[in-house]
Amino acid sequence: MSKLSVASGSKGNQPPSSAKAHLQHGYLVVYNAVQTIGWSLIFYQLISFYLGNGNKTLYDTVRCALNVFQNAAILEVIHAATGMIRSSAVMTAFQVASRVAVVCGVLLATNSARTGLGLPLALIAWSVTEIIRYSNYTFNLVSTVPYFLKYLRYTTFIVLYPIGVTGELLCIWAAQKEVGDGRLYTIDMPNKYNFIFNYQLLLWFMMLLYIPLFPQLYMYMFGQRRKALSPPKEKST
């Protein structure tokens, strides 16, 4: 599922007070800056693909960068679990796992998901969202987040999140048909381990999870938007 901008890039932009804090701070600056550059590259490859006349498919064009920078987000689970960032490790793990499942378990594992409308929809939503998100984190770590960037972070999701979810679902739908027709990654009975695994059913289950989770997470972001963009309340005297 499209990643929400709910995690903090750090514990705030307060100056580090120890050698360990300095190292963590420097590491997070580099991590978020590299991710900003990485997703900018993916966005550039996406636009270049549609403007150019290359022989590669869209997936072949973005494959390397997409797998590197999306899977690098697994580090964010470690960041949250170790307290390097102010974010729920469980929520972060869920968001990262859902996106990694689409990139590795759907796009990398099947051919059908790479050729339909789902991939470009997902890529445009993911890349723009991540450029804005990681830029916010980087600015928060080194100075102050410009208001326009903060506004984009808490506004663009209104359109991009549904687009991303639609793209992800289209990719999964295309993949499940291919998996079902070819019995891919499926273990049928009988076998010596008395074990059964149906990858198509797992993909169906993934799609069903979007029904309860998407509205809940989408409305949560509206709540975050109100908190972030509402003017501070004046203290009563």
Query: How does pLDDT run across 180-225, given as a tens digit for each residue?
Result: 999 999 888 888 888 889 999 999 999 999 999 899 989 989 999 9
For residue 5, tell me if it sits in a domain.
no
For residue 4, tell me if it sits in a domain.
no
In the residue annotation, 161 being an active-site residue is answered as yes
For residue 2, tell me if it sits in a domain.
no
Considering 76, 154, 168, 199, which one is annotated as catalytic? 168
In the residue annotation, 147 being an active-site residue is answered as no
For residue 73, tell me if it sits in a domain.
yes
pLDDT value at residue 10: 53
pLDDT value at residue 149: 96
Considering 44, 161, 185, 234, which one is annotated as catalytic? 161
For residue 87, tell me if it sits in a domain.
yes
For residue 3, tell me if it sits in a domain.
no
State which amino acid sits at residue 49: F
| Confidence band, pLDDT 50/70/90 cuts, at residue 234 | low
Range of the domain at 150: 25-228
For residue 7, tell me if it sits in a domain.
no
